[in-house]
Structure 1
């Protein structure tokens, strides 16, 4: 370095030291004065620095705390603003300037209920401050759906400050909520006339023009005016961008969002809009990542919770969706979209009672969300209240008489209610008059449910006329023809679908299924190969080849090679990676499973499914701390999901840390109080700790949460049965049967009656149950197993034969009947076992039965081949190895038998058949 540079640096250093000394010697009051100067120049960042410098000197300056809170709020940091404003209050800074700002900060964080609970009775002395505060209070009450307190607060705000623009705008919004749109628009225009630069008024005008007047062009102009006045106005930007979304103008929406990012790139509202854009563009993963960032910054923001719920619903994560939407509704019960989405979650997951409970408050609101009517029809339909369902579907069609979906739902409800002729006539009319296909699909489905196959084919003809260039109709026709046992016609229809679209995979899969039924696996493989020839990266075809290899006895190496190919061809697709990991886990190749999961995580580091698979692989490998780390990361990605905590509980149990397991289960239940897996785990821990009353209390809670479900009653009965409290167990099962006709409850009640030495009661139950439930195969299968245990093979034969009559494709019944038939020396035994293996190929238990029967008949070669495959599929099953050894001995292959017997002998006490193993080893 030159001398001149050294001198320059020295001079600069001296200057910096001098400035530092000045800063250090400056009094906090002077720093605060400097901050005010910066604020006057709209330099908030410099002002914040000076205020913080002042507070470092004197943390108890109330004015500095107030100024910092106000400045942070203006900068969009609502959480920081709330903290500082509360500190100012604690330091006795006057309420009048603080409370209105604090109210705004709390509203910005979605804390409407907290605001009304804490400050609902607060009164300020300054009228403008009181008007501003009461206006915020009105907004908070309205967000909770509390119309009367909201109106009272608004009236008081206008009384305090008659011309206060925010209050008049709320009044305008209320008029709009009462559907008095002309009055609402007039009030908004009054505000604009007196304050042309009021950006919020321009935004409200846009809302009224968009929603009430259906004038999207004029609304767009009003929104643009609001952000022209204040470019960083997030609500205006949000409305403008959202309207651009609805117009499918994603280019302008993206441009507008980029403009907003210049002002507030990291603001939660900006991130929210980005998430909203990603959602609209079907980038669900991106939307999920962005909305998680919003929720980290403002965990209680109802709009973010609502969007997060919508994203998870689209990603088919109903538990996560339910958690977000429930929290959104708790904070804002009047939120219509969150309510609709939550009802939809419950409908999709078959929780009809919960759907009804969530729906009902929305139907009793002052202004019912019109979109709720059609949903209400579906809810009442699932709850078997056909009258109510028809009532709400009728209301939905009255709202929009041309809506084919609502009309179709109404017709289907009438169909379920027995109005068959009129319902089918209505469906046919809708299908004929509407260019859409909703009614066509409903008509086809209704005919299929009634097994009216010819009429279904006629309806499919109508669908095909509307969609001659799509393969759906031809594929549906193929499915119907298969149901008519017209295999040749079905083949032609599936082939017709492929003529329309050679890559239409449902038709390819159907044809491959027919090939397999004809015992032509090579033809099935050729079909998937043909798809890959046209589309080498087609993941469905690649995975189908892997499944085909698995079903046809392909080697482990072949299956892994195919799954690897699917992963390589589509590295960012989740499904192939999950299948590969799970395949390794099923084969107990934990090292490879972990390696595959780590590779997947490297490519998709933020994917919850991949992280969950990594945790499973690490847990299976005994890497418990690593598994906990993976599940902790998963919980950070999905903070409202109880599942990561459920997984952690499993790991803690494997580590024998029952206290940690209980804590994890508690956290899971805090997020979802009716999560049955967590409740079951809690019961198991209580039972292990001899806390029987605690276990019973959880079972009772489950019954209250789901009174029409069997699980709570099953668990109560099981807990009592474990203590040999047979009467209490029986009472629990009986209580459950009063609520729901459950084969599981009937089976368990029968078993405890036998355990209580009440065979008469058990027989009466069996007779009554079979009479009232003639199509229940599970109970009869259970009785058959009991007959086998008693060695009453004749009764078992009759019972399994009954099961097969009810369920002709029940492989378990065929397998068990084959075993019983062999005991009874029936010639049909082998044929029955072969039928079981045809219905469920590559099932080791069924293969074992057939192999033993073949061996008994002297077909040692075929028996040994089949049993060897069974052992390969379940190498850890000692019974299969023992039977293979016996088959080898019968076939004169004593050396091969010895290999299996030596392996069994090495198990020692882990296998209870060592006496028989020792005797077989002595076989000359």
Structure 2
């Protein structure tokens, strides 16, 4: 032992001397000394703390955090370690963790408290929360009024509020008091640069460097200033000075990568950023640069992963979301792009770039109307002659839908080389239903941007809307030639295959994409949606959606899809659990609160649902939806006074909301306040003159008032407006109720000529024909539906039933197609059994009917049909047994009466 001690010649460290080394800019020397000491005695808390400080100065932040946490665990007071640990979190841009861990922290030492409160203020400011930042600074100055870092943060917050002169005066006061304060000179440079005084900013940053040549913030500020002015030569010169002063600092390497990317050396930029990330770096600036390098190297999947990390670290920051949205748009992940942009759109005002990005996503999703509105909004926010001209052109198109406005847009699209004006023109044409003109605009965009995959995709979408499946298919395939993993083109081809009844081929497309990109969100959601409605299918869909949630914990879409699946499967308790977990994970997402309220309502927890919708109303004060949800629940509770109050709140939040006016009119009708209901319909017409809703509402009220001519007039106005499908069904029903059969048929024919894809109207016609026992007409309507929707199980099943009813051939083929679309459906199995019996295949019919009964043993109607098949086969004993069991079930009185008649006939045979 003595020999070992004698060999240890390392003298004990002097913490005070080491601290002076760190404060004097010799952190590298201090860190070497500290590491040597800690190899001998690793449990020295004070030395661990000093090593954490030294590593912080050297920019080795993750390692610094580890050392500081060790010092804390070894018993060093939190008042000593806490502020430095907060600095480490701040340097890693882990702002949310910093505020959660240290907000409202106070120590016995007033200086430590002021230092911590200032760091908390910095973190709040970085999250965009100026109010809480100001409160934290006020707390710091209350504890220590002369705390200079707090004074400087107060000045920075003044500037953020738009009070730059006052902020500069505050910084100048600090500099007069402490002329060697490095932070004050850097902040003064930043404020001068923000005011456009570039030379003054350069002087301030250089003064900071004279105080301390290895000031990371001063070097970085000068490089950023030169880059902002596109002066890469000065930026390179400043970086060389930074490299000399800070050769091993990660920030030096970061700017080396940035400059490499700017001069076109993306490979070097990628190599440097990969090295920095591997070394434990992970701040937002590094992740953004790494993402940009990957994009330049044409690695969008890697760029997406890096930018997603950046958004996760700084969810309030603009640039990570804007860059990620651009990547998602490029890869065709439009819904993910929309979700990424939504938090920015809730700001007042939203970032200018977010608006056209959201417009593009909406356009590519087929929502041309919203896209056009967003493009108009974007144009109003931009400056410059072209942008002003574009805004004016869009305004003219909106106010005067004549050819002149579109010609102005077309002219601008010929000038614009970037394609934004072309996208705006395409949106405007599609919003007006002008497919040929939209296709011409797409052709013009293709001429400018032949490599742009969205050109082929857009053309395919338009052709798909025109029911030109083969032409659309060619366009989507052309898009995949440019990018084999472009999801919208894959989805377009899968949609065509589904329309042709090729379910397995569509599934295979999404599975192939998932093989290449296992975490692909849209492919996973599509596969989940395509699972059959069986116990096994629901389990498979649930597994897929849980995988999507694990891969994309910050997106609401997979969580919403899982909640919807559980509600559809009537697993209400699990839907509530999923929604509650979703709200905890993403507390600021209104759609998840809405889903939780609906799940609670479905599970019978009405009051909890009402409370949840109340919280949603607080989150979305300008939305009528939460109040209307409450109104509907109050109506179910028969509390009509509360329902009326909720409707009033809805209309206060969103005056003129159609859904609010419609529900208010329904309550007025219930109260026999027909003039009030009519007034609400008129208000809807006034506020939404181009929409059918208000005129359809008037038609409903007029019918109740007994004024059919006025009702017909209102409904005929409605069917000439936008979104008139429901009004068309109402007008047709009104004509039938007035015994005007021929006129009703003429209207139906005319409507379907103009709206051949109106499936609900075809269902309406089929149901009316069924009610009149006009089997032939009903059959034709259902056949027409199944031609457009080959997987519409209801239409296929009803066609099969009608063929049996009319003793026509082909029933079993339709029933089998229906069963393929909805496996193990007892009603369809029953139809298939009847089809087999009709075709003389009695043994098959009995086999299928047994399966139907096993799937729904409590359905008395299935046992009645089972008994009839047994009677037809001559097996009277099994028939008696089936009829006897039916008596014990909760079957309809008609079914039981028929069962008794059959039993009586069987008994009479003996």
TM over 0.5: yes
Structure 1 distance, partners of 2:646, 2:504, is 46
2:305 is the counterpart of 1:286: yes
Q: Does the 8 Å CA contact 2:257/2:272 hold for their aligned counterparts? A: yes
How far 1:656 sits from its partner (Å)?
A: 3.1
How far 1:651 sits from its partner (Å)?
A: 4.2
Name the residue aligned to 2:83. Answer: 70
Q: Does the 8 Å CA contact 1:474/1:494 hold for their aligned counterparts? A: no
Structure 1 distance, partners of 2:463, 2:116, is 74
Structure 1 distance, partners of 2:781, 2:101, is 75
Structure 2: tracts of 5 or more residues without a match: 5-42, 57-63, 364-370, 853-860, 866-885
Q: Does the 8 Å CA contact 1:720/1:726 hold for their aligned counterparts? A: yes
Structure 2 distance, partners of 1:305, 1:208, is 23
Q: Does the 8 Å CA contact 2:699/2:714 hold for their aligned counterparts? A: no
1:595 to 540, 545, 548: 540
Distance 1:558 1:234, change over 3 A: closer
2:216 to 196, 199, 224: 199
Structure 1 distance, partners of 2:102, 2:421, is 59
Distance 1:36 1:886, change over 3 A: closer
Post-superposition Cα deviations, 1:142-178, rounded to whole Å, max 9, x if no partner, equal: 3344546545544544554466443343333333323
How far 1:114 sits from its partner (Å)?
A: 1.5
Post-superposition Cα deviations, 1:246-281, rounded to whole Å, max 9, x if no partner, equal: 666444444444565587646677677767877886
Normalising by structure 2, what TM-score? 0.68
Name the residue aligned to 2:131. Answer: 113
2:222 is the counterpart of 1:178: no
How far 1:321 sits from its partner (Å)?
A: 3.6
Q: Does the 8 Å CA contact 1:48/1:68 hold for their aligned counterparts? A: yes
Name the residue aligned to 2:25. Answer: none
User: SS of the residue aligned with 2:809?
Assistant: helix
How far 1:553 sits from its partner (Å)?
A: 5.2
Name the residue aligned to 1:707. Answer: 655
Distance 1:631 1:481, change over 3 A: closer
Name the residue aligned to 2:238. Answer: 222
User: SS of the residue aligned with 2:132?
Assistant: helix
Where does 1:404-803 land on structure 2 (aligned, <5 Å)? 503-504=477-478, 550-552=498-500, 571-584=518-531, 587-598=532-543, 601=546, 605-607=550-552, 613=561, 617=565, 630-631=578-579, 634-635=582-583, 638-662=586-610, 664-665=612-613, 672=620, 679-689=627-637, 692-707=640-655, 709-721=657-669, 728-741=676-689, 742-755=691-704, 758-760=705-707, 763-768=709-714, 770-771=716-717, 774-775=720-721, 776=724, 778-788=726-736, 793-803=741-751
Q: Does the 8 Å CA contact 1:648/1:664 hold for their aligned counterparts? A: yes
Name the residue aligned to 2:883. Answer: none
Post-superposition Cα deviations, 1:494-533, rounded to whole Å, max 9, x if no partner, equal: 89x78xxx94158xxxxxxxxxxxxxxxxxxxxxxxx9xx
Distance 1:605 1:912, change over 3 A: farther
How far 1:782 sits from its partner (Å)?
A: 0.9
How far 1:130 sits from its partner (Å)?
A: 5.1
- Considering only aligned residues, what root-mean-square deviation do their CA atoms show, in Å? 5.9
User: SS of the residue aligned with 1:76?
Assistant: helix
Name the residue aligned to 2:37. Answer: none
Structure 2 distance, partners of 1:713, 1:261, is 55
Distance 1:235 1:310, change over 3 A: farther
**Number of matched pairs:** 802
Q: Does the 8 Å CA contact 2:712/2:734 hold for their aligned counterparts? A: no
Structure 1: tracts of 5 or more residues without a match: 9-29, 57-63, 351-374, 384-388, 507-530
How far 1:215 sits from its partner (Å)?
A: 0.9
User: SS of the residue aligned with 1:504?
Assistant: helix
How far 1:589 sits from its partner (Å)?
A: 0.7
Structure 2 distance, partners of 1:612, 1:772, is 34
Post-superposition Cα deviations, 1:271-312, rounded to whole Å, max 9, x if no partner, equal: 7776787788634652465246525xxx76677777788788
Structure 2 distance, partners of 1:135, 1:198, is 17
Structure 1 distance, partners of 2:165, 2:893, is 74
Q: Does the 8 Å CA contact 2:325/2:340 hold for their aligned counterparts? A: yes
Post-superposition Cα deviations, 1:581-636, rounded to whole Å, max 9, x if no partner, equal: 3233xx42133331354267569832355565555555666666665665566556
Structure 2 distance, partners of 1:479, 1:636, is 38
Name the residue aligned to 1:381. Answer: 376
Structure 2 distance, partners of 1:481, 1:53, is 66
Name the residue aligned to 2:9. Answer: none
Name the residue aligned to 1:134. Answer: 151
User: SS of the residue aligned with 1:75?
Assistant: helix
Distance 1:728 1:287, change over 3 A: farther
Distance 1:324 1:664, change over 3 A: same
Structure 2 distance, partners of 1:45, 1:439, is 50
Structure 1 distance, partners of 2:345, 2:437, is 43
User: SS of the residue aligned with 1:182?
Assistant: helix
Q: Does the 8 Å CA contact 2:627/2:646 hold for their aligned counterparts? A: yes
